[in-house]
C-alpha cells in the first residue's frame, strides 16, 4: 500500500488515543504489531465483512475515557460529529483506506477502561522472489554501504537487506577498499557518505571506478546536493540523496540506481 496511507491510519489512531486520555492526565498509548490468522468470517466495526485469512495486525490502545455502545455504532460515520474527547476525527478516512485494501478494523472499548483499535491488512502471500518478477541479478545484487556513523550505516544496511540485497558495510574509504578486495570486487553498487575520516567519497570513488567501472554510485550527505557535488568533483555522474531520508526513500534510490522495478 501507499506508505502515506499507512501513515494516515497510524497518525489518526494515535492522535485520537492521546486525546482520549486528555491533556494533563496520566495515561499510556501503546502500538503493537503482529500477524493474525483469522479462522472464521466476521463483521468488523464499520460493518464490513472480513474474510478468513492471514492479516498484518496493528493495534493502537489507550488508557483513556473509553467509548459507550451508542457512539461505537456511529464513530466511523463521516457525518457524525461529537464533542466527546478524542474520537471521531479521521476515523471515516481510516475506514475508507482499509476498505480499499480489503482490510478491516475492530474496536474494543467501554467507558472508563480505554480503547483498542485493531487494524487488519491482508498479508502478502508471496514475496517478489517467489513471484518470478525479479531477475537473479536483481535478487543477488551486492551493495556496499560506506558511512562513518554506525547508526546510519546499520540503518541503511537493514533497509537494503529487507529489499533482498546482499549488503557489505564499511566505516570509511580505506575499510571499503579492503572489503572490495576481500569480495574480489564483485560489487554492483556503493552508497557513500561524502565526508568521512581517513578517506572520503571524493578520494574513494576513482579507486572504485578504476577497478569496477560498472559499479553504480549513490552519494549521501547532510550537505546540499550542490555542495556535495563540489566536494566530490572527481565523479560528477554519481546519484545523490540528501540526509535525512526515510527507509522508503533510501530503498527507492538504490532500486533506481540498479534499475530494479518492484511490482
Instruction: Rounding to the nearest 10 degrees, give the CA dihedral for residues 43, 103, 27, 110.
Output: -10
Q: How far apart are CA 110 and CA 206, in angstroms?
A: 65
Q: How far apart are CA 63 and CA 27, in angstroms?
A: 6
Is the dihedral angle over the CA atoms 54, 129, 32, 107 positive or is it negative? negative
Residue ranges of domains in the chain: 3-122, 128-258
Closest CA to 214 of 183, 181, 258: 258
**Over residues 222-244, mean pLDDT:** 89
85 pLDDT band, cuts 50/70/90, is very low
Q: In CATH terms, is domain 128-258 a member of 3.40.50.2300? A: yes
pLDDT digits (tens, 9 = 90+) for 109-154: 989 899 999 999 998 765 544 444 444 434 579 999 999 999 999 9
The strand ranges marked E within 176-225 are 189-193, 216-221
**For all residues of the chain together, what is the average pLDDT?**
86
In this predicted structure, the answer to whether residue 80 has a pLDDT above a threshold of 70 is no
Closest CA to 46 of 114, 122, 97: 97
**Are 3-122 and 128-258 the same fold in CATH?**
no
pLDDT digits (tens, 9 = 90+) for 34-75: 999 999 999 999 888 999 999 999 999 999 989 888 888 788
The CA radius of gyration of the chain, in Å to the nearest whole number, is 24
84 pLDDT band, cuts 50/70/90, is very low
Q: How far apart are CA 51 and CA 5, in angstroms?
A: 22
Grid cell of 243 as nine digits? 540526509
CA of 30: how far to CAs of 37, 58, 59, in Å?
Answer: 21, 10, 8
Cβ-contact 60, 30 below 8 angstroms:
yes
Task: Using DSSP bridges, classify how beta strands 115-122 and 166-170 pair: parallel, antiparallel or unpaired.
Answer: unpaired
Q: List CB contacts of 147: < 8 A, sequence separation 6 or more.
A: 153, 156, 171, 191, 192, 193, 196, 220
CATH number of 3-122: 3.30.565.10
Closest CA to 114 of 23, 20, 206: 20
**Does the reported pTM lie above 0.75?**
no
Amino acid at each position: 500500500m501507499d506508505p502515506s496511507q499507512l501513515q494516515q491510519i497510524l497518525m489518526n489512531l494515535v492522535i485520537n488515543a492521546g486525546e482520549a486520555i486528555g491533556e494533563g492526565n496520566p495515561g499510556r498509548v501503546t502500538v503493537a504489531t503482529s500477524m493474525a490468522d483469522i479462522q472464521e468470517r466476521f463483521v468488523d466495526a464499520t460493518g464490513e465483512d472480513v474474510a478468513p485469512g492471514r492479516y498484518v495486525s496493528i493495534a493502537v490502545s489507550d488508557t483513556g475515557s473509553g467509548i459507550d455502545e451508542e457512539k461505537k455504532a456511529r464513530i466511523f460515520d463521516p457525518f457524525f460529529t461529537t464533542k466527546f474527547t478524542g474520537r471521531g476525527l479521521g476515523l471515516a478516512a481510516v475506514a475508507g483506506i482499509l476498505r480499499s485494501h480489503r482490510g478491516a478494523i475492530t474496536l474494543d472499548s467501554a467507558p472508563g477502561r480505554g480503547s483498542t483499535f485493531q487494524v487488519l491488512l491482508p498479508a502478502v502471500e508471496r514475496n517478489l522472489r517467489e513471484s518470478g518478477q525479479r531477475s537473479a541479478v536483481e535478487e543477488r545484487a551486492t551493495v556496499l554501504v560506506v558511512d562513518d556513523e554506525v547508526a546510519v550505516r546499520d540503518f541503511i544496511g537493514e533497509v537494503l537487506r529487507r529489499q533482498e540485497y546482499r549488503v557489505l558495510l564499511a566505516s570509511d574509504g580505506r575499510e571499503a577498499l579492503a572489503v572490495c578486495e576481500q569480495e574480489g570486487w564483485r560489487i554492483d553498487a556503493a552508497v557513500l557518505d561524502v565526508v568521512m575520516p581517513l578517506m572520503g567519497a571524493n578520494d574513494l570513488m576513482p579507486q572504485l571506478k578504476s577497478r569496477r567501472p560498472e559499479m553504480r554510485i549513490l552519494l549521501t550527505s547532510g550537505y546540499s546536493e550542490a555542495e556535495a557535488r563540489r566536494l566530490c568533483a572527481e565523479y560528477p555522474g554519481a546519484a545523490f540523496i540528501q540526509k535525512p531520508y526515510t527507509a522508503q526513500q533510501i530503498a527507492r534510490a538504490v532500486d533506481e540506481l540498479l534499475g530494479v522495478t518492484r511490482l
